[in-house]
């Protein structure tokens, strides 16, 4: 008895029995990875286009075959067996390696100049040339590091989105939501910017706006956009509409999910590539406290910086000297934009879960969350007294919300961080949770089911401090 680890977390005595289809899929994916690495280091004289073709066939073909092998032949339903036994999804050795590799890749991307100096040349070399054929076709010019990044990002969302859809194919909500993030990533975050670049030499990202697009309202950006003509002016106009009109209105009706789990690219990656890691988010009360301080500080920081810069410009630089202004703008970009949202946000997926950035750092999430918390019709409702406190909802909440805390006391869940992914409702074995848009929840305590005499509604002292 003593040698048994009751948490059964890190090692599984019986490795998951991979079937032949899954193995075939994994073999193809490995081939894709190898082709990518060969291209990166420029092995031999093979045309980059060949490497690209092999890589794409490997990723897409392998991904599709692996997904079908995993979920295709079993009845539809919740598929979380062995999530805490599998090394990759339970912070095992493979997860640590994956975390380090993704983090390093991000460091190469964001700090390419330094990497170039260290290796004494183009550190991403062949990886960039490899994407030239697509870049030429789409953008009418050679590839660069950000096109490589965007392409990998899109590939990940598409393949893992396909896997997610198969996994949750019994849920129309999950299918539609995933199609939506795949669509916005492919069209609005990858194809459209490329085509516009070809036509107008400017890449608009119309699904990103202030405060997530942190420099959207920086004076330098505004004057640049204004200078490039109608397209730039439209981008300014579009961004303002979305930030100040569409966001409050849509969030009032549907909660922050309209953006975070249906449109946003960060959310899109978290919901697809990040799905195998969603249960790794920290659910403790302590982490909730950290979350509230951190995320609202980031929102405050970007608002203050933006206002300072705008006031500074409108007073002809009376407020700040050029150096301070530069430090403010670049400092936020480096610490929040690059390190927090990119390196930590994605690199740490296998260790801290898929929504680290969205939960602790994203100023857009903070802004949406404030509306959701205080003035929105969105909430998760609980079904009478049917909760058995099993904990699936809390465990699989990527935002670290202790959903069970509310469900077992028969209380609606109105939390600023909820992105409305709907997984709590999906994994609930007793049909207790439902995402709903209903009457205004601003007077939250009134709609908590105090009047429902089915179970004890308790006020045991927990969050009062």
* Residue ranges that bind another protein, judged by CB under 8 A: 1, 4, 6-9, 12-14, 17, 75-78, 80-86, 170-173, 176, 253, 279, 284-285, 377, 383-386, 388-392, 394-395, 404-405, 408, 422, 425-427, 429-431, 434-438, 449, 452-456, 458-462
Contact 156, 275 (CB under 8 A): no
Question: In the complex with another protein, which residue's Cβ is closer, 28 or 427?
Answer: 427
Strand-pair partners of 382: 433
Question: In the complex with another protein, which residue's Cβ is closer, 66 or 332?
Answer: 66
Structure tokens that stand for 126 in this block: 């062949």
Question: In the complex with another protein, which residue's Cβ is closer, 356 or 435?
Answer: 435
Question: In the complex with another protein, which residue's Cβ is closer, 14 or 443?
Answer: 14
| 167 vs 81: CA distance, rounded Å | 12
Closest separation in Å from C-beta 274 to another protein = 18
Query: Other CB atoms closer than 10 Å to residue 422's CB: what's the count?
Result: 19
Closest separation in Å from C-beta 76 to another protein = 7
Contact 269, 362 (CB under 8 A): no
Question: In the complex with another protein, which residue's Cβ is closer, 139 or 278?
Answer: 278
| 232 vs 377: CA distance, rounded Å | 34
Closest separation in Å from C-beta 89 to another protein = 9
Closest separation in Å from C-beta 392 to another protein = 6
| 400 vs 387: CA distance, rounded Å | 19
Pairing between β-strand 433-437 and β-strand 378-382 as defined by DSSP bridges: antiparallel
Closest CA to 151 of 191, 115, 208: 191
Contact 412, 447 (CB under 8 A): yes
Question: In the complex with another protein, which residue's Cβ is closer, 82 or 296?
Answer: 82
Closest separation in Å from C-beta 395 to another protein = 5
Structure tokens that stand for 220 in this block: 């330098």
């Amino acid at each position: 008895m003593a040698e048994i680890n009751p948490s059964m977390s890190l090692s599984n005595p019986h490795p998951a029995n991979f079937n032949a289809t899954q193995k075939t899929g994994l073999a193809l994916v490995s081939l894709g990875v190898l082709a990518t690495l060969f291209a990166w280091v420029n092995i031999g004289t093979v045309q980059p286009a060949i490497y690209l073709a092999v890589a794409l066939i490997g990723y897409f073909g392998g991904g599709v075959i692996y997904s079908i092998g995993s979920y295709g032949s079993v009845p539809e339903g919740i598929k979380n067996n062995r999530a805490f036994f599998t090394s990759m999804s339970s912070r095992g050795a493979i997860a640590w390696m994956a975390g380090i590799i993704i983090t390093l890749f991000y460091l190469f991307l964001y700090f390419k100049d330094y990497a170039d100096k260290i290796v004494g040349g183009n550190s991403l070399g062949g990886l960039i040339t490899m994407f030239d054929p697509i870049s030429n076709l789409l953008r009418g010019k050679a590839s660069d590091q950000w096109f490589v990044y965007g392409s990998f990002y899109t590939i990940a969302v598409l393949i893992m989105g396909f896997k997610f859809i198969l996994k949750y194919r019994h849920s129309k909500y999950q299918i539609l939501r995933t199609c939506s993030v795949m669509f916005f990533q492919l069209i609005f975050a990858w194809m459209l910017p490329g085509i516009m670049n070809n036509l107008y030499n400017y890449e608009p990202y119309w699904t990103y706006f202030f405060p997530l697009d942190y420099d959207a309202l920086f004076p330098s950006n505004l004057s640049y956009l204004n200078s490039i003509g109608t397209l730039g002016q439209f981008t300014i106009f579009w961004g303002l509409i979305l930030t100040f009109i569409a966001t409050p209105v849509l969030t009032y009706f549907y909660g922050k999910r309209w953006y975070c789990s249906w449109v946003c690219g960060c959310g899109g990656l978290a919901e697809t590539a990040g799905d195998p890691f969603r249960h790794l988010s920290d659910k403790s009360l302590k982490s909730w406290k950290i979350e509230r301080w951190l995320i609202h500080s980031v929102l405050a920081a970007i608002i203050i910086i933006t206002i300072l810069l705008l006031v500074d410009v409108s007073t002809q630089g009376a407020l700040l000297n050029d150096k301070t202004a530069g430090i403010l703008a670049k400092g936020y970009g480096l610490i929040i934009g690059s390190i927090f949202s990119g390196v930590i946000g994605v690199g740490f997926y296998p260790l801290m879960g898929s929504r680290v950035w969205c939960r602790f750092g994203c100023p857009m999430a903070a802004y949406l969350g404030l509306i959701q918390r205080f003035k929105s019709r969105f909430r998760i409702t609980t079904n009478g007294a049917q909760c058995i406190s099993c904990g699936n909802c809390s465990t699989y909440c990527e935002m670290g919300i202790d959903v069970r805390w509310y469900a077992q006391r028969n209380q609606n869940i109105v939390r600023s961080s909820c992105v409305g992914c709907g997984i709590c409702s999906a994994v609930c074995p007793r049909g207790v949770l439902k995402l709903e848009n209903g009457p205004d929840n601003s007077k939250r305590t009134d709609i908590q089911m105090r009047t429902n005499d089915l179970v004890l509604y308790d006020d045991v002292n927990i969050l009062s401090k």
